[in-house]
Structure 1
Amino acid sequence: MRKIKSLAILTGLVISHMAVGQETSDNGMNPLSLRPIHESNVAYKVGLWRRVDLREKQNQPLFANNNEITKYLVEGVKSGILDAYSDDNLEERLTLDEFNERMFKRFEGGGLSQDELDAGFGTEETTSDDGWGETTSGGTDDGWGEETTTEDNSQNGTVTTTSTQAPADGYEMFANEFYLLELKEDWIFDRQRSRQYFDIQTISIKIPAEASNDGLEKNLATFKYKDLEHFFRNNPNAVWYNEANTAKHINLADAFELRLFHGRIVKKSNSLNRYLDEQYKSPKEALNKSQELEYELIEFEHNLWEF
């Protein structure tokens, strides 16, 4: 009876899937899939977004000291090997200047803009008599990023000193400051092989709220997983750090293939495109729902073949 019920649910899902459609190319394949499944064989599909906190113990092998996955992604963009996109819609590709601007962390307070410096803000003038009736002029660096200029006023016997703050107001963030990833993947049931697949579509680097210039969590860049898989395979140094046996580190591409990470579900595809914490009243309730979704996906596959 349970099997019949599960098959009835699956039939309804197939009809719904055929009506809505999915992102495919002209040949019926998803162009973002590493191992695409033809749309005629997709019996069930749901989009999942997972939050991967690289500080968690299970995820630390992806974030080993000086071997962070974010380090390789940033280097790939700066070297021109990887294409970075604004978000997981993949509609806007970032230029190198735009990517660097997103990585730039401004000091608290933001400093002064170039227009403000040109207008004279941040410039302090002091006037003093040197006591000798002599005049000097010139500029020196005081060692703190400020330039001090002494101006001679021979007619009134005074010396004017001008101090201008250097325009630098921040720094480019380090790769180990980006400890949040967001995976977008499809949970697919393949009717031909009679099994489920997790099909990763994109991986995004998030700027944590405490590191963001405005105190909000933002997207640094999004990458096609197909590009990353090829990039990792061709980079032997990009490894999942094996603490148990340092002679057997694993390439990052294999680590994702083997699901050697923990990513909490933060969004399931829905008509309003809302995250779980936007749908529920409290973070605790959203966390409980995330765990429920994990169990539901496991139970769904199990019940299809239960007699």
Structure 2
Amino acid sequence: MKKSTKAILWAGLSMSLFFSLFLTSFSKAQEYGSYVDDGYNHNSVRPVHESHIMYQKSLWHRVALKEKQNCPFFATGNEITGLIIDATKLGIIRPYQNDSLTTRMSQEQFLENIKIPSEQVQYNDIEYDIISQDNQWDNWTAGTEGWENQDTDQKTEAQEFYANQLYTLEIKTNVFFDKQRSRMINDIQTISIILPAEMNPATGLEKTIATFSYKELVQNLFRDNPSAIYYNERNSQAHRNLEEAFDLMLANGTLIKYNNARDEHIMDMYDDMRHSLIMAQNYQANMIEYESNLWEN
């Protein structure tokens, strides 16, 4: 009886230890966006088992929301960038560091990324901080002997970019051939908000503010949300939901990268901008031709 009791106790202890380790690993997987490898891409809105995928490429497109074709994503008051930023502040969705979707971005870092960077200007060996779009004239009054600062101890709160200033998106898509359905599938993985170079005077370079899982955007923000609209200029009663707009591939973007051994952008592969643009268009045309040729033999 003693041996059986010990065996039962050891078995119970082993099971409890197993479940505790399982729950710990699962919670970490939830935190960092990784899942158990069961043959499915769990970052897909509609996962397809890898055994059904005959061919796959990952493509990155740069979407300029100010282009005429993309304006419905960027209607005044309904900018997709503003919708995503507001939802992130409320905790409805959580950002990632990059499009690998392995590391979450903290709320503090996200809020720091959307702040307008200050410019330091020096006059007569005195350094002043000037924040873009806000000259802070309210803190200055005209005195008898010139301009005097009335509140030197008051600190200026950093302002954030407006939604219409963040007009660039980067979309990562897995394009694969599903042999069960016998068709090419465009499976959007991530959407990144890009700070345009002209809005970043400190470096003059583009900057990724944050990356978001497209699946999380659809499930937590786009679906059944009357504010997540693709604006229809011709009929205000027939606006489309953003999920439907992306499913229909209504966003017009320029191909900037496809998965390659060196992880290079197309611009880095060729000598000049014009040549890289032509080669990007050729690559997309070749993919369409590849899909068409699958049915010829």
Distance in 1 separating the partners of 2:121 and 2:257: 33
1:59 aligns with 2:70: yes
Contact 1:147 1:165 in 2 (8 A): no
Q: Could you tell me which of 139, 146, 160 is aligned with 1:145?
A: 139
1:27 aligns with 2:27: no
Partner in structure 2 of residue 171 of structure 1:
159
Task: Go from structure 1 to structure 2 and tell me whether the alpha carbon gap of 1:146 and 1:164 turns closer, same or farther (over 3 Å shift).
Answer: farther
Task: Go from structure 1 to structure 2 and tell me whether the alpha carbon gap of 1:203 and 1:110 turns closer, same or farther (over 3 Å shift).
Answer: farther
Distance in 1 separating the partners of 2:150 and 2:185: 67
Contact 1:25 1:31 in 2 (8 A): no
Shift of residue 87 of structure 1?
1.4
Distance in 2 separating the partners of 1:88 and 1:55: 23
Amino acid at match of 2:159: Y
**TM-score when scaled to structure 1?**
0.75
Task: Go from structure 1 to structure 2 and tell me whether the alpha carbon gap of 1:178 and 1:143 turns closer, same or farther (over 3 Å shift).
Answer: closer
**TM-score when scaled to structure 2?**
0.77
1:299 aligns with 2:293: no
Contact 2:121 2:127 in 1 (8 A): no
> Deviations along 1:197-247, whole A, 9 cap, x unmatched?
010000000000111242110101100000111110131111000112111
Partner in structure 2 of residue 276 of structure 1:
266
Amino acid at match of 1:99: F
1:70 aligns with 2:90: no
Contact 2:73 2:230 in 1 (8 A): yes
Distance in 2 separating the partners of 1:147 and 1:93: 46
1:32-181 matches, within 5 Å, as: 32-109=43-120, 144-145=138-139, 164=152, 166-168=154-156, 170-181=158-169
Unaligned runs of 5+ in 1: 1-22, 112-119, 123-141, 149-160
Task: Go from structure 1 to structure 2 and tell me whether the alpha carbon gap of 1:244 and 1:143 turns closer, same or farther (over 3 Å shift).
Answer: closer
Higher alpha-carbon deviation: 167-176 or 281-290: 167-176
Distance in 2 separating the partners of 1:216 and 1:166: 31
Contact 1:146 1:164 in 2 (8 A): no
1:228 aligns with 2:239: no
Partner in structure 2 of residue 219 of structure 1:
208
Give RMSD over aligned pairs: 2.7
Distance in 2 separating the partners of 1:109 and 1:147: 22
Task: Go from structure 1 to structure 2 and tell me whether the alpha carbon gap of 1:169 and 1:201 turns closer, same or farther (over 3 Å shift).
Answer: same
Classify the secondary structure of the residue corresponding to 1:50. strand
Task: Go from structure 1 to structure 2 and tell me whether the alpha carbon gap of 1:26 and 1:162 turns closer, same or farther (over 3 Å shift).
Answer: closer
Distance in 1 separating the partners of 2:68 and 2:171: 18
Partner in structure 1 of residue 244 of structure 2:
254
Unaligned runs of 5+ in 2: 1-33, 129-135, 143-148
Shift of residue 280 of structure 1?
0.9
Contact 1:47 1:184 in 2 (8 A): yes
> Deviations along 1:112-134, whole A, 9 cap, x unmatched?
xxxxxxxx976xxxxxxxxxxxx
Greater than 2 Å deviation, 4+ residue runs = 23-26, 106-111, 142-148, 161-170
Task: Go from structure 1 to structure 2 and tell me whether the alpha carbon gap of 1:169 and 1:78 turns closer, same or farther (over 3 Å shift).
Answer: closer
Partner in structure 1 of residue 233 of structure 2:
243
Shift of residue 163 of structure 1?
7.2
Shift of residue 167 of structure 1?
3.4
Contact 2:59 2:255 in 1 (8 A): yes
Normalized per residue, the structure richer in helix is 2
* Identity within the alignment, %: 40
Normalized per residue, the structure richer in strand is 1
Contact 2:195 2:208 in 1 (8 A): yes
Task: Go from structure 1 to structure 2 and tell me whether the alpha carbon gap of 1:110 and 1:223 turns closer, same or farther (over 3 Å shift).
Answer: farther
Task: Go from structure 1 to structure 2 and tell me whether the alpha carbon gap of 1:223 and 1:162 turns closer, same or farther (over 3 Å shift).
Answer: closer
Distance in 2 separating the partners of 1:237 and 1:121: 44
Contact 2:61 2:172 in 1 (8 A): yes
Contact 2:120 2:127 in 1 (8 A): no
Count of aligned pairs: 249
Shift of residue 55 of structure 1?
0.6
